[in-house]
Structure 1
Amino acid sequence: MAGTTVADDGLVETAFRAALPDHTPDQLAYVQATMGESKIKVFRHLLAGDETRAQHANAAFEHAYARLVDEGACTEVPGARETIERLRADGRTVVLTTGFARTTQDRLLRALGWQDLADLTLCPADAGRGRPHPDLPLTALLRTRAADDVRQLAVCGDTVSDVRSGLSAGAGLVAAVLTGAHTEPDLRAAGAHHVLPSITDLPGLL
Structure 2
Amino acid sequence: MIQLAVLDMAGTTVTDDGLVERAFTAAIGAQGIDQGMPEYDRMIDYVRATMGESKITVFHALVETEDTAQQANKAFETAYASLVDEGHCSPIDGAEDAIRQLKAEGIKVCLTTGFAETTQHRILSALGWEDLADLTLCPAQAGRGRPYPDMVLKALLDLQADAVANVAVAGDTAYDMTTGIRAGAGIVAGVLTGAHGKQQLAAAGATHVLESVRDLPGLLLDRKLEK
Question: Residues 64-79 of structure 1: matches in 2 within 5 Å?
Answer: 64-79=79-94
Please give the alpha-carbon distance, in whole angstroms, between the structure 2 residues aligned to 1:24 and 1:106.
29
Is 1:4 equivalent to 2:12 in the alignment?
yes
Amino acid at match of 1:4: T
Please give the alpha-carbon distance, in whole angstroms, between the structure 2 residues aligned to 1:105 and 1:24.
26
Secondary structure at the counterpart of residue 170 of structure 2: strand
Match of residue 180 from structure 1: 194
Match of residue 28 from structure 1: 44
Question: Residues 123-138 of structure 1: matches in 2 within 5 Å?
Answer: 123-138=138-153
Please give the alpha-carbon distance, in whole angstroms, between the structure 2 residues aligned to 1:60 and 1:82.
33
Structure 1 position 7, deviation (Å): 0.2
- In structure 1, runs of 5+ residues without a counterpart are none
Question: Residues 33-182 of structure 1: matches in 2 within 5 Å?
Answer: 33-48=49-64, 50-145=65-160, 147-182=161-196
Secondary structure at the counterpart of residue 154 of structure 1: strand
Please give the alpha-carbon distance, in whole angstroms, between the structure 1 residues aligned to 2:175 and 2:92.
19
Q: What CA deviation, in whole Å up to 9, does each residue of 1:35-94 have, x standing for no partner?
A: 11110000000013x100000000000000000000000000001111100000010000
Q: TM-score, normalised by structure 2?
A: 0.89
Structure 1 position 26, deviation (Å): 1.4
Secondary structure at the counterpart of residue 75 of structure 1: coil
Please give the alpha-carbon distance, in whole angstroms, between the structure 2 residues aligned to 1:17 and 1:40.
15
Secondary structure at the counterpart of residue 209 of structure 2: strand
Structure 1 position 24, deviation (Å): 1.9
Please give the alpha-carbon distance, in whole angstroms, between the structure 2 residues aligned to 1:26 and 1:185.
23
Is 1:197 equivalent to 2:197 in the alignment?
no
Which one has a bigger Cα radius of gyration? 2
Residue-pair matches, total: 204
Runs of 4+ in 1 over 3 A off after TM superposition: none
- In structure 2, runs of 5+ residues without a counterpart are 1-8, 34-38, 221-227
Q: Identity of paired residues, percent?
A: 62
Please give the alpha-carbon distance, in whole angstroms, between the structure 2 residues aligned to 1:192 and 1:30.
22
Amino acid at match of 2:44: L
Q: What CA deviation, in whole Å up to 9, does each residue of 1:179-200 have, x standing for no partner?
A: 0001111111111001100000
Please give the alpha-carbon distance, in whole angstroms, between the structure 1 residues aligned to 2:40 and 2:18.
17
Q: Which has the higher contact order (CA 8 A, sep 6+)?
A: 2
Please give the alpha-carbon distance, in whole angstroms, between the structure 1 residues aligned to 2:98 and 2:165.
22
Please give the alpha-carbon distance, in whole angstroms, between the structure 2 residues aligned to 1:42 and 1:74.
22
Please give the alpha-carbon distance, in whole angstroms, between the structure 2 residues aligned to 1:134 and 1:203.
23
Secondary structure at the counterpart of residue 108 of structure 2: coil
Aligned-residue CA RMSD (Å): 0.6
